[in-house]
């Protein structure tokens, strides 16, 4: 098969400047064309995870990918982020015209991956430390982010001393601290209680509304997708392909708590759920026959 090409391009700041001047951006932050991926099981059976997926993500967009379990959402995210390679297709980030070192990518996974031997402040500033930022500067940036998400007073605490929600906040702001051009998020709030999840969504939404980073989020939570996104992409049951895309015209700035009770939100939720539920049924039948 044709190998996948991954080009990490010039930082998206060129496109940001174009948008700020009122001129449409010349290229998307992410451009994927015809990507396909198979997984080989231990039984040596090949499973087609993705089939001919093409997707553009404009600069500064908050895009969320939803779909039934096992449809390849996380696989697609890994390919877009360059964490794995596909069997066919291509991915370009910010135009694909520069060295990888010219572009910062952030990735927030389902697990927090905090370093247990470092305290919270040291965990938040590790990305800046690896980039050679002077200690006083990285400390100031880390302390400001901790204050913004309600972690002031826990700077010297260690991960094992924090609740699940607090650990997730640390993981999120650790990524935000080094100012990535594109942020990939794979079910970052999975396993949290509803109240903590809403609070973290509110934190992410507020920070995004100020910084306007390009974000691609994978989630099983349709309400979450609609509440915080500019656009929702729905994937089919395996093999994963893009079934539909939905613009989310809810006005910004948004509040997570208030948006879910509006009539527009409920209408969007019903429309997308009708399409999603059909894929969930297909996925259950496919899994039953595997």
| Per-residue pLDDT at 97 | 54
Quick one: pLDDT band at residue 288, thresholds 50, 70, 90?
low
Q: What is the pTM of this model?
A: 0.86
Radius of gyration of the chain measured on its C-alpha atoms: 19
Quick one: pLDDT band at residue 194, thresholds 50, 70, 90?
confident
Query: Is residue 257 assigned to a domain?
Result: yes
- pLDDT tens-place string over residues 75-95: 999 999 888 888 999 888 877
3-state secondary structure of 151: coil
Tokens 């948004």, residue located: 254
| Per-residue pLDDT at 113 | 87
Q: How many Å apart are CA 222 and CA 240, to the nearest integer?
A: 17
What's 76's domain CATH number? Answer: 3.40.50.300
Mean pLDDT, to the nearest integer, of 126-136?
91
Query: Is residue 172 assigned to a domain?
Result: no
Query: Is residue 117 assigned to a domain?
Result: no
Tokens 């527009």, residue located: 264
Q: How many Å apart are CA 155 and CA 249, to the nearest integer?
A: 39
Q: 41-50, 63-72, 147-156: lowest mean pLDDT where?
A: 41-50
| Per-residue pLDDT at 149 | 86
HSE of 97 in the Cβ direction (CA atoms, 13 Å)?
9
| Per-residue pLDDT at 12 | 62
For 48-76, letters b (16+ CB in 10 Å) and e give: ebbbebebebbbbbbbbbbbbebbbbbbb
* Cα 254 to Cα 241, 272, 277, distances in angstroms: 30, 20, 27
Query: Is residue 283 assigned to a domain?
Result: yes
Picking from 184, 187, 177, the residue whose alpha carbon sits closest to that of residue 81 is: 184
3-state secondary structure of 226: helix
* Domain of residue 30, residue span: 5-104+180-289
User: Does residue 200 register a pLDDT over 90?
Assistant: no
User: Does residue 47 register a pLDDT over 90?
Assistant: no
| Per-residue pLDDT at 20 | 41
| Per-residue pLDDT at 23 | 32
Picking from 89, 92, 69, 115, the residue whose alpha carbon sits closest to that of residue 288 is: 69
Q: Which ranges in 95-233 belong to alpha helices (H)?
A: 120-124, 126-130, 135-148, 164-177, 194-211, 222-228
Query: Is residue 85 assigned to a domain?
Result: yes
Q: How many domains does the chain have?
A: 1
Query: Is residue 282 assigned to a domain?
Result: yes
Query: Is residue 31 assigned to a domain?
Result: yes
* Paired strand residues for 6: 91
Query: Is residue 170 assigned to a domain?
Result: no
| Per-residue pLDDT at 22 | 36
Question: What crossing angle do the helices spanning 194-211 and 164-177 adopt, rounded to 10°?
Answer: 10
């Amino acid at each position: 098969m044709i190998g996948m090409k991954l080009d990490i391009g010039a930082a998206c700041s060129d496109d940001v400047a174009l948008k700020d001047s009122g001129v449409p951006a010349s290229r998307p932050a992410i451009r994927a064309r015809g990507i396909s991926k198979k997984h080989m099981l231990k039984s040596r059976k090949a499973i087609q995870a993705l089939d001919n997926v093409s997707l553009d993500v404009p600069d500064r967009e908050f895009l969320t990918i939803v779909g039934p379990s096992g449809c390849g959402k996380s696989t697609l995210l890994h390919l877009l982020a360059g964490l794995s390679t596909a069997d066919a297709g291509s991915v370009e980030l910010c135009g694909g015209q520069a060295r990888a070192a010219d572009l910062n990518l952030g990735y927030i996974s389902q697990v927090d991956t905090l370093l247990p031997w470092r305290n919270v402040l040291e965990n938040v500033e590790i990305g800046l430390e690896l980039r050679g930022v002077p200690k006083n500067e990285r400390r100031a940036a880390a302390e400001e982010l901790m204050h913004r998400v309600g972690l002031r007073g826990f700077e010297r605490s260690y991960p094992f001393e924090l609740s699940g929600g607090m650990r997730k906040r640390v993981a999120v702001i650790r990524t935000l601290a080094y100012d990535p051009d594109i942020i990939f998020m794979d079910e970052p709030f999975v396993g949290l209680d509803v109240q903590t999840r809403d609070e973290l969504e509110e934190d992410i939404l507020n920070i995004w509304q100020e910084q306007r980073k390009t974000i691609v989020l994978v989630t099983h939570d349709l309400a979450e997708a609609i509440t915080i996104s500019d656009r929702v992409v729905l994937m089919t049951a395996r093999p994963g392909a893009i079934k539909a895309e939905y613009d989310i015209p809810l006005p910004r700035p948004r509040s997570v708590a208030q948006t879910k009770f509006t009539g527009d939100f409920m209408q969007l939720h019903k429309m997308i759920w009708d399409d999603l539920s059909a894929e969930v049924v297909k996925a259950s039948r496919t899994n039953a026959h595997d």
